[in-house]
């Protein structure tokens, strides 16, 4: 079954902005789905429609098999949303914020206490439970919004840029938390600007730009579409004009005095590059892929025209 099914979804805001221009997407249950796109692409609008906060202009959306037009409540009950903007009652206590949310979903208070403790502990906020939200750091507030979104144990968790402004260590902690949640069966949909995050977490990805899905598939499939892959080689000796001339066919350039970057077309093998090094009697100390491949693809696809 699909957790989310979207057909030809359009949204035009009252201002006349066409935020979504016919988006179709199927997100299977249990997926970890990454939605990538530059600022203003339509990510938050899409999430808003799925979660019932924004009215669509046309098209069809089903959540956990429930059409949002015919059965808006049933769909909403299966979703937890972590919004992009902070929307916490900052003078309320952390524990109360999480427990009070349960009321909207008809979760009995006793059960809510248990879930609140479980998620506040898992997200490293249990010690802060009696503090007011205003006293939390930005990263803590984000995690509090995650705990709050999970209070009714939703089948689907949607997070709109959950790691924006979160430091590296906390971000990794959040990744582990989300990965575990997904392995327990929760479908996760996340928008992000961090390509590394998408590559690390997502099973399937869609890239959205100007209100249209321009690519979708697994990370592997998307990266395969790249025509060229850059590699960096650390050389034993300093790079000279002669070094570069031996690797001219690979578009070589010096990254620094002893690191050379080559661009390997799809139809060539790394062996061909090593042959070129051999011919020039150039010794290589080390090699690595020199750019995040997903990042390269993303930039290629969303290039400003």
Ligand X SMILES: Nc1ncnc2c1ncn2[C@@H]1O[C@H](COP(=O)(O)OP(=O)(O)OP(=O)(O)O)[C@@H](O)[C@H]1O
Of 120 and 159, CB closest to Mg ion = 159
Binders in 157-216 for Mg ion, by CB under 5 A: none
The CA R_g of the chain, rounded to the nearest whole Å, is 23
Which of Mg ion, ligand X, none has residue 131 at its interface (CB below 5 to 8 Å by kind)? Answer: none
CB of 192 to Mg ion, least distance (A): 10
Closest CA to 218 of 204, 197, 198, 199: 204
Which of ligand X, Mg ion, none has residue 17 at its interface (CB below 5 to 8 Å by kind)? Answer: ligand X
Contact 235, 284 (CB under 8 A): yes
Which of Mg ion, ligand X, none has residue 37 at its interface (CB below 5 to 8 Å by kind)? Answer: ligand X
Sheet architecture: strand order including 2-12: 18-28, 2-12, 58-63, 66-67
Contact 203, 218 (CB under 8 A): yes
Of 5 and 44, CB closest to Mg ion = 44
Stretch that binds Mg ion, among 11-19, 43-51, 258-266, 283-291 (CB under 5 A): 43-51
CB of 303 to ligand X, least distance (A): 17
Q: What six digits make up the tokens of 290?
A: 């020199």
Residues that bind ligand X (CB under 6 A): 13, 15, 17, 19, 37, 39-45, 84
Of 39 and 267, CB closest to ligand X = 39
Query: x/- binding map, residues 64-103, to Mg ion, per CB under 5 A?
Result: --------------------x-------------------
Stretch that binds Mg ion, among 36-44, 75-83, 89-97, 215-223 (CB under 5 A): 36-44
Which of ligand X, Mg ion, none has residue 40 at its interface (CB below 5 to 8 Å by kind)? Answer: ligand X
Contact 254, 244 (CB under 8 A): yes
CB of 44 to Mg ion, least distance (A): 3
CB of 157 to Mg ion, least distance (A): 17
Q: Residue 257: helix, strand or coil by DSSP? A: coil
CB of 160 to Mg ion, least distance (A): 6
Of 2 and 84, CB closest to ligand X = 84
Residues with Cβ < 8 Å from 137, sequence gap 6 or more? none
Of 21 and 253, CB closest to ligand X = 21
Could you say which DSSP state residue 134 is in? Answer: G
Q: How many residues bind Mg ion (CB under 5 A)?
A: 3
Query: Any contact of residue 44 with Mg ion (CB under 5 A)?
Result: yes
CB of 269 to ligand X, least distance (A): 38
Contact 74, 66 (CB under 8 A): yes
Decide: residue 251, CB within 10 A, 0-12 exposed, 13-18 middle, 19+ buried.
middle
User: What are the distances in angstroms from CA 63 to CA 75, 153, 205, 224?
Assistant: 5, 16, 18, 31
Closest CA to 122 of 196, 179, 79, 198: 179
Of 86 and 104, CB closest to Mg ion = 86
Residues 78, 56: Cα–Cα separation, whole Å: 19
**Which residue's beta carbon is nearest to the bound Mg ion?**
44
22: phi > 0 → left, psi -120 to 50 → alpha, else beta; which? left
**In terms of DSSP bridges, do strands 32-36 and 228-235 run parallel, antiparallel, or are they unpaired?**
unpaired
CB of 233 to Mg ion, least distance (A): 39
Of 45 and 229, CB closest to ligand X = 45
Q: Which positions touch Mg ion (CB under 5 A)? A: 43-44, 84
């Amino acid at each position: 079954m699909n957790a989310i099914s979207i057909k030809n979804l359009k949204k035009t805001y009252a201002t006349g902005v066409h935020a979504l221009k016919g988006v179709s997407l199927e997100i299977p249950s249990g997926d970890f789905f990454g939605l990538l796109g530059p600022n203003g692409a339509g990510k938050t609008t899409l999430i808003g429609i799925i979660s019932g906060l924004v009215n669509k202009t046309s098209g069809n959306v089903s959540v956990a098999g429930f059409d949002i037009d015919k059965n808006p409540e049933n769909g909403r009950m299966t979703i937890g949303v972590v919004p992009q903007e902070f929307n916490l009652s900052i003078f309320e206590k952390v524990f109360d914020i999480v427990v009070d949310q349960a009321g909207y979903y008809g979760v009995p208070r006793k059960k809510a206490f248990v879930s609140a403790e479980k998620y506040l502990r898992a997200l490293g906020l249990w010690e802060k439970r009696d503090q007011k939200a205003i006293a939390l750091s930005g990263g803590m507030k984000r995690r509090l919004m995650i705990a709050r979104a999970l209070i009714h144990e939703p089948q689907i968790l949607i997070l709109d840029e959950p790691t924006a402004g979160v430091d590296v260590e906390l971000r990794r902690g959040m990744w582990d938390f989300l990965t575990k949640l997904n392995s327990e069966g929760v479908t996760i949909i996340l928008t992000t600007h961090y390509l590394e995050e998408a590559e690390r977490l997502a099973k399937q990805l869609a890239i959205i730009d100007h209100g249209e899905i321009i690519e979708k598939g697994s990370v592997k499939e998307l990266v395969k579409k790249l025509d060229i892959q850059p590699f960096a080689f650390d050389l034993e000796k300093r790079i000279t004009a002669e070094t570069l001339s031996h690797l001219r066919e690979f578009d070589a350039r010096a990254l620094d005095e002893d690191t050379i970057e080559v661009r390997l077309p799809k139809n060539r093998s790394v062996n061909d590059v090593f042959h070129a090094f051999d011919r020039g009697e150039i010794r290589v100390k080390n090699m690595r892929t020199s750019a995040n491949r997903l990042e390269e693809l993303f930039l290629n696809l969303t290039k400003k025209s």
